[in-house]
Structure 1
Amino acid sequence: MGDVVYRCVIATSRAVFRGLGLRIELRGEEHLPTTGGAVLASNHVSFLDFLLVGLVGVERGRLVRFLAKESVFRPPLLGWAMRRMRHVSVDRAHGTAALRQAVRAAEAGEVVGIFPEATFSRNESLRPFRRGAAAVAVWDQVPLVPVVVWGGQDVLAVRGRWFRLRWGVAVTVVVGEPLRPGPHADPAVVTDVLRARIGDLLRDREAARDRQPLLTR
C-alpha cells in the first residue's frame, strides 16, 4: 500500500511539473546505486526539494525515504501520505529516535534522504550541517551521496500564509560521486567533507543547465 501511494505521488508531481513547464535538469544520477542501502544528502532551498531530490531515486528505480520535521506529519491528509510512503518524522527535541529509524532503513537496503542543514537556506551559502547523514553512512557502511538542488525556491515562493507559483522555471538537480567512509570514520569529519563536496557542486551547478531537460525527454 505504501509504495502504491508513493508512486501515485510521483506520477502526480511529475504531471504538475510538466503543467508548470519546469525545465528540470538532472545530472549524475548514476552515482546512486540501484540496489542496497544509501544516504542521499542534499542542500535545502524549498518545500519542493523532497519531490525534486526524489527524482534521483525515480531515475534509478528507487524510492527515497526522507527524514522530515514532525510538523509536516500533522495535517491529516499529508501526514497519512507521509506515513504510507514510510518517510521518517523528526522531533528535533528527540532526534535520536528518527536517526535510529534511518539507520534501520538503510541497513534494510533503503535509500534514506536527509537535508543536513535541517532547514531552508535562503541563498547559496550553506548553513551548518548536522551529523545525522554521515552517522547513518558510517554506522551502516553505505554510500553517502551528495546532491545539490536549485530552483525550487523560484517555483514555489512562500510568504507567510501566502504562496506564489511560477511557470517555466529552470531547476537543477546534480548528484555527486558518493563518499564511502570507513567503519571507524568520525561522523564529524565526514560531515565536513560532505559539506565541502555539496558546496563545490552548488558552485558548479551552472554547467548542468546546458543539457536537455529531464521531463521533456
Structure 2
Amino acid sequence: MEGKAIKIRVAFCFILVGISLMLAAVVTDYWAVLSPKVEKLNSTCEAAHFGLWRLCTKRIFIQEPNPEGKGCGPLKLPGDHNCSYFKHFTSGENEEIFEVTTQKEYSISAAALAIIGVGFMTMGTICTLLAFNPKRNYLLKPAAMFYTFAGLCIIIAVEVIRQSVKRMVDSEDTVWIEYYYSWSFACACAAFALLFICGVALLLISLPRMPRNPWETCMDAEPEN
C-alpha cells in the first residue's frame, strides 16, 4: 500500500504541473502570432497575437529584416501595443476579422472547451484531495477520468485554434499572411500530455490488484486498505 500511495503522489505532482500549464494557456494571449508581409524597411507594420479571449496588436517600426523570417516583428521590438476583448465576449471594440461568422464560432468554441476543461480539472483536483483520506480512495477513479477529460478538452481547443489561424491566413479579408504558434499554444499542448497521460496512469493505479496466479481469485487478493 505504501508503494501505491507513493505512485499516486508522484502522478498528482505531474498533474499539478499540467494544471499550471493549462491555466497559463487559458489566461494568456500568445496562442498564435500573426504578421503581414513586410514590403520595405524603415516603415511601420502591425503584428497581432491572440488567445482565447483577447486580440492584441502591436505597431512596430521595421529598420532591419526579421532574423527569424516571420514578417513583421519580432514582438519584443518596441511599439504601440493594444489589447481588446473579442466583441462576442464583451461590448468592447476589436479587430473585425474575428467577428466574421466562422472566426467567431471558432473563438467561442475554443473558449467553451477550455472552460469545460478547467471545470473537469477542478473536479478532479477536489476528488484527488479527498481521496488522500484512505476511507475515500474510491474517488481516485473519477478524479482520473476528470483529468483525462480535461486533457481531451484542451487538445480539442488547440485544434480549433489551429484551424482558426489557418482560415484567417487563407482569408482575403486580412493582411496577415504569416503566422507561428507561441508559448501559450505550447503550454496547452504540454498540459494535454500531462493531464491525459497522468490521468490514465492514476486510473490504472487506482484499480484493484490483479490476481498473481491463474488460480487466485479476486476475493483472495489483498485488500486495498
TM-score for the superposition, normalised by structure 2? 0.24
TM-score for the superposition, normalised by structure 1? 0.24
Please identify which structure carries the higher helix content.
Answer: 2
